[in-house]
Amino acid sequence: MKTYSISVLFILAIFLALSEASFDGNINYGSPSPRHTQFGIDVDQVQRRSWKRGNVAFKPEELNFTHGVASGDPWPNSVILWTRIAPSNVSSSGTAPIDGTEPLYSHESKKFIEADPNPICLYWKVFPVGKKDSKSVVSSGKAYTTADIDYTVKACSDAEFTVCNSKNSSPLGKTKTAPRPDDDVSEINLAVFSCSAYFSGYFNVYGNAARKDNHDWVVHLGDYIYEYGTYTLFKERGSIPQHPTYSLYDYRARHGQHRTDPDLQLLAQNSAWITTWDDHELADNAYRDGYVDFFDQPNTFKGEGPKVATDARKANAVRAYFEWMPIRQTDMDDGLRVWRSFQLGKLMDLVMLDTRLYDRSKGVDYVNEKYIEKISDDPSRTLMGGRQENWFYRSLSESKDRNATWRVIGNQIVFSHIKGDAAGGGDTWDGYIANRNRTLNHLYKNKIDNNIFLSGDSHMNWVSDLAWLGTKKYNPKTGKGAIGAEFAGTAVSSWGTSGLKSIEPDAGKLARKAIAENKELFWQEGYYRGYFHLSVSPKNVSAQFFVLAGDNHIHRPKDGVQAESGALKTGEIKHTNLTFNTETGVWKVKGFDQMYLNPEPSFLGSS
């Protein structure tokens, strides 16, 4: 695998000959789907607007790299590069993509807003790690940005560009390309995150992973942002904007707020990210046609309603995500597609799913739980939709056919069947039983083994064998009969389950009950916030626990295992309260009451 440092540079003066300027170098001008051109920007009109007499170009000293640099979606010969260069940290206040010279209406100010006509030009360069000179440049390019796309820049590096020079530069970032599918890879390490609500906690775990620097790539399983407004129980880190996100400006501003966090900036600057969205990138329990607080669309436009239709809100969320995240345009004909896969040498295939926004059937909305439970095994209910589901099964089969050792599936919600008080109910795969059965049937029927599910969303830690209970024989003592394992991680900062105010007895009691009620469950823990480090080698996959290649279940060491919190099927829970500070290099006892900003709100929606 090749590792490159990246630097995004911008020129010191805006080109005078703007008639020669090309906006093709910035992916963010394009629509996520050419079939839905309204999501894209008419760059011809943007260009003509820039020729208008009287325009006053930005001075270089007026511009700043306001939100650092980032990279993502590594391929063997390229990686996505991202930054934002702007005169202000504040996002563009328009509520729709800017089209030509037409002013925009702002729901916040109740006034029409003129678009800033001036483009900003950037050069970017890619260097080998440890080198930063003109002779060492392996890839470079030029890109323009404007207020139309909130001054964001997203470019694709592929080692075919000419060298450019500049005096004013962004922070130097580091990224890594992927191995070729036929490469022999001895080990891959992933830092896996989910559920990062800015207003409810600090992003310490991002900084922790960045300073440890022992991973190849970052995987984020969704709920990267939350749509909620500022709540009175969380006063230290409020939301920007303070109200829930509806307009394009709202979603842009929320993404921008997240990228002001120094720990997130540090991890984004030094690692390529592979991301998918969950529900809160749009709204709570979002699905194909709506979300949890969408009951009566006409009321949307009455009284204090948001005055943004459901489909428009979804378009705004998707547009902002596309602008602010270093993610590829996976399918030029499918604007909502973020499901994709990465062949990482012969060692593994990473398959990233979208079990939320793409084509999910309606889930729970806090008044229909009993109804969803009754129809949970209906064959027509789907988490992925037919197109994605068929692609998923093909990807699994193709991975086996090419003899990849492991299949690692990144998905949003807990896959295993969980019973009892800790269960997620109809908002997890338990609400789509037929869909889960089809997945398990494909794995067992085609003898596809060495499967690892990665999950987030629940704000808890879970380690389970991947077993088809009630259909295939399974021995919980040995793990025999399973077809893989699941590692489901807790939240970066989002609130925990209501009522878990202490590690003991609250969290411990819930965990012990979950272990007793679910025979495939190996470890459960619901108090801590954090992330997990997944290490993949030809012989095993580990995330503190081990799965041996060919065994298809969690490894059971003779002496058992030890965990800090929660409950284990076999092993010891030992509360050390020891915390390692990655900035100072010091271990110290940290009280559990110091982990949260304020008491957890019991009134908030689902994870």
The alpha carbon of residue 356 and the mean position of all alpha carbons in its chain are separated, in whole angstroms, by: 12
pLDDT interval class at 32 (50, 70, 90): low
Asked if residue 336 belongs to a domain, the reply is: no
Which pLDDT value is given to residue 602? 42
Q: Spell out where 484-582 has E strands.
A: 484-488, 521-525, 532-536, 540-543, 545-548, 561-563, 567-568, 571-573, 578-581
Which pLDDT value is given to residue 548? 60
- For strand 348-352 and strand 540-543, is the pairing parallel, antiparallel, or unpaired? unpaired
The alpha carbon of residue 235 and the mean position of all alpha carbons in its chain are separated, in whole angstroms, by: 25
Dump pLDDT digits (tens) for 547-557. Answer: 566 667 787 77
In terms of residues, how long is the chain?
607
Q: For 586-597, what is the mean pLDDT?
A: 58
Number of structural domains in the chain: 1
Which pLDDT value is given to residue 605? 46
Which position has the higher pLDDT, 604 or 214? 214
> Would you report the helix, strand and coil content of the chain in percent, each value rounded to 5?
25, 25, 55
447's tokens:
């003898």
Asked if residue 503 belongs to a domain, the reply is: no
Contact 402, 183 (CB under 8 A): no
464's tokens:
């389970």
187's tokens:
């080990």
Output the 3-class SS for 117-183: CCCEEEEEEEEECCCCCHHHCCEEEEEEECHHHCCEEEEEECCCCCCCCCCEEEEEEEEECCCCCCC
Which pLDDT value is given to residue 547? 55
Asked if residue 507 belongs to a domain, the reply is: no
Tell me which residue range forms the domain holding 113. 1-177
> Which of 37-46, 57-66, 126-135, 510-519 shows the lowest per-residue confidence on average (mean pLDDT)?
37-46
Angstrom distance (rounded) from CA 88 to CA 409 = 39
Asked if residue 523 belongs to a domain, the reply is: no
Dump pLDDT digits (tens) for 467-506. Answer: 999 999 999 999 999 999 999 999 999 987 766 778 888 8
pLDDT interval class at 604 (50, 70, 90): very low
Asked if residue 440 belongs to a domain, the reply is: no
Q: For 122-132, what is the mean pLDDT?
A: 78
Could you please report the per-residue DSSP string of 179-209?
PPTT---S-EEEEEE----GGGS--HHHHHH
Asked if residue 152 belongs to a domain, the reply is: yes
Which residue type occupies 380?
S
Dump pLDDT digits (tens) for 225-274. Answer: 999 987 656 667 889 999 899 988 899 999 999 999 999 999 999 999 99
Contact 2, 129 (CB under 8 A): no
Asked if residue 516 belongs to a domain, the reply is: no
Q: What is the CATH number of the domain that holds 30?
A: 2.60.40.380
Asked if residue 345 belongs to a domain, the reply is: no
